[in-house]
Amino acid sequence: MLKKGPQGDLSAAYVRKAIDERWTGDRKCACGEDRPKALIRKSDPAECHKCRRKRKGKTVFDNHHPAGDANNPTTTPIPVNDHRAVLNVAQYDWPQQTLENPDSSPLLARAACIRGYLDTNEYLMDKLLREDLEFLEKLNEFLNSKLGPKWWVGTPLERFAPKQQGQLPDNPNPTNNLPSEDAKSDNDVSVRNSDEKLAA
Ligand SMILES: [Zn+2]
């Protein structure tokens, strides 16, 4: 989430990180949260914003402005720790003019909406999809060890297996099993190319 935008300021990011680390060191909340921006400065023992809110009976969600308050009133609820440690941090890397838009430029407002959408989309990809990658790979490893390296053969999952290069797609209906016009012309091209190579 901390990728720099086209005008991201690396030195500013470095300074922020150094300040965070000076304040938080290697501290960790009892819940396991250890991202500096999610921890309350000077809390002792270390406590995160989510745990403090819970302890005080308050909501653990913030209303995040994806495009920044100055650019668009749309908000979306985000868990407070992620709001502080991920989405707010992403906005620090925007050009300040775009985030604050002091003259209410309609162009900057639109740029902010795009930046906000991209940041939020990346956050959701991390939250909803990233873990699935490891899950799928580990499950494949587990099934390999239990059932062998072609565990899907002869199961309803077989049709999802990627086709080997050059293999025609499975087709239960033989009348539709002719190569498409595109495929035929591709083949013609490859035959022609190899003929040209032979001639040369
Ligand atoms: Zn906590």
Q: What single letter denotes the amino acid at residue 44?
A: D
C-alpha 15 to ligand 1 mean position (Å)? 25
Confidence of residue 189 (pLDDT cuts 50, 70, 90): very low
Q: CB within 8 A of 99, min separation 6: which ones?
A: 68, 70, 71, 91, 112
Q: Is the pLDDT of residue 123 over 70?
A: yes
Higher pLDDT, 6 or 169: 169
What pLDDT is stored for residue 21 in this prediction? 61
Which range, of 8-17, 63-72, 95-104, 143-152, averages the lowest pLDDT?
8-17
Cα–ligand 1 centroid distance for 111 (angstroms): 34
Task: Determine the distance separating the centroid of ligand 1 and the alpha carbon of 133, expressed in angstroms.
Answer: 26
* Helices marked H in the chain: 10-24, 49-55, 80-82, 88-92, 96-100, 106-125, 131-147, 181-199
* Reported pTM: 0.66
Neighbouring-strand partners of residue 76:
64
**For residue 18, what pLDDT is reported?**
63
How do residues 155-182 score in pLDDT, each as one tens digit? 999 999 998 876 665 555 555 444 444 4
pLDDT of 94 > 80? The answer is yes
Q: What distance in angstroms lies between residue 170's CA and the mean position of ligand 1's atoms?
A: 52
Q: At CA 155, angle to CA 152 and CA 156, rounded to 5? A: 110
Mean pLDDT score of the chain: 83
| Section 70-93 average pLDDT | 97
Give the pLDDT confidence of 20-74 residue by residue, as tens digits.
666 556 889 999 999 999 999 989 999 999 999 999 999 999 999 999 999 999 9
Give the distance (Å) from ligand 1 centre to CA of residue 37.
12
As residues whose CB is below 5 A from the ion ligand 1, the structure lists: 29, 31, 33, 48, 51
Query: What is the 55 CA–ligand 1 centroid distance (Å)?
Result: 10
Q: How far apart are CA 37 and CA 81, in angstroms?
A: 8
**Category of 167 on φ-ψ map: left (φ > 0), alpha (ψ -120 to 50) or beta:** beta
CA 81–ligand 1 middle distance (angstroms):
9
Q: Which of the pair, 27 or 199, is modelled with greater confidence?
A: 27
